[in-house]
Homo-oligomer: A and B are copies of this chain.
Amino acid sequence: MRTLNVDLAERSYPIYIGTDLLKQAQLFAPHIVGRQVAIVTNTTVAPLYLKQLRETLQGYEITEVILPDGESYKNWETLQLIFDALLRDKHDRKTTLIALGGGVIGDMTGFAASSYQRGVNFIQVPTTLLSQVDSSVGGKTGINHPLGKNMIGAFYQPQAVIIDTATLHTLPERELAAGLAEVIKYGFICDEPFLTWLEQHIEKICALDNQALMETIERSCAAKAKVVSADERESGVRATLNLGHTFGHAIETEQGYGVWLHGEAVAAGTVMALEMSQQLGWITIEQRDRGIALLLQAKLPVVPPQGMTPETFLTHMAVDKKNINGHIRLVLLRDLGHAVITADYPADILHNVLIANYSTITNSI
């Protein structure tokens, strides 16, 4: 097992990464203060891992909350089911919520924990690669609004993150790829050597080699933890973690949540950010194509959906949380491994990027 620490003063917490950690009661115990716990999971994950976690936590008063699965349920109505169960079973302020599932479960459970009785403890047990390398680290929690993704939420840190790599063996291939979009992102924004390592190990990772997975997760979490520690509330550098996300969110919102997986939208959005960085002269065509090639090897989409017009993109991008005073701020690359956030670019270059023919660009790679 490997342990990383997310350094946030009195809100610091450990990330444990290993195989079969779901079975290890002694990992959970130090992070549960009361005798009540609520396991929040969904209809897909419950049949796979709920029984195991329940056995590990025997001795506590356990409430189980099984939510419908999918980004389309990341809304108030579903969140309310968590509050209903907590109140029905009379959970008090010493309760601990446990998020067993992917990013949607983690985000909703975290927001529920932040707002139930104005704040109770929670533990993240992410079961998808995406949530293991991204959403379970950093304390961003929340739900979607019909007019925007993650528009309602809180910055709220868990007591611990427990990552059991064994859960990846039941993960659909498409979701594994979606997780790799965020993994590759860390290379682009702040860790060029990791990008090289990924190019060398992408096949092992896709084959679920355990050592390769542990290394992938640890390096990703370390990159994210470092950025988050420097800027917990996203007033500066943390926003670079959103490489590809402004374009990607527009894709997700337009298609309807859950049609494209988050990581898939981020992958296509990252290609757009690479293209823009190249058009600004900040990276070369070769660097752009190296990035696209890695995303392709990870079996990710690299072309935005047909029918997305520049106007559609701009409408959705206008409500991005990074924007200040109406300017669309974008995360772009000054070099591979060096992201910047900027609203200072010629409008016609953004327009060119929105109308570029990505099928032509990527077909030749």
Q: In the complex, which residues of chain B have a beta carbon less than 8 angstroms from the beta carbon of A114? A: 154
Instruction: Indicate if the CB atoms of A94 and B153 lie closer than 8 Å.
Output: no
The contact of A76 among B76, B141, B145, B154, by CB within 8 Å, is B76
Number of residues on chain A facing chain B (CB within 8 A): 39
Q: Is the interface of A mostly helix, strand, loop or mixed?
A: mixed
Q: If A90-B319, A92-B324 touch, does A84 touch B147 (CB 8 Å cutoff)?
A: yes
A356 at the interface (CB under 8 A from B): no
A115 to B94: give the CA distance in the assembly, Å. 22
Instruction: Indicate if the CB atoms of A118 and B153 lie closer than 8 Å.
Output: yes
Q: In the complex, which residue of chain B has the Cβ closest to the Cβ of A80?
A: B76
A87 to B142: give the CA distance in the assembly, Å. 16
The contact of A151 among B34, B117, B326, by CB within 8 Å, is B117
Give A151-196 interface residues, CB cut-off 8 Å to B.
151-155
A93 at the interface (CB under 8 A from B): yes
Q: In the complex, which residue of chain B has the Cβ closest to the Cβ of A140?
A: B118
Q: In the complex, which residues of chain B have a beta carbon less than 8 angstroms from the beta carbon of A84? A: 145, 147
Q: In the complex, which residue of chain B has the Cβ closest to the Cβ of A87?
A: B147
Q: If A87-B145, A87-B147 touch, does A155 touch B321 (CB 8 Å cutoff)?
A: no
Instruction: Indicate if the CB atoms of B83 and A151 lie closer than 8 Å.
Output: yes
Q: In the complex, which residues of chain B have a beta carbon less than 8 angstroms from the beta carbon of A115? A: 111, 115, 142, 152-154
Chain B min CB distance to A352 (Å)? 24
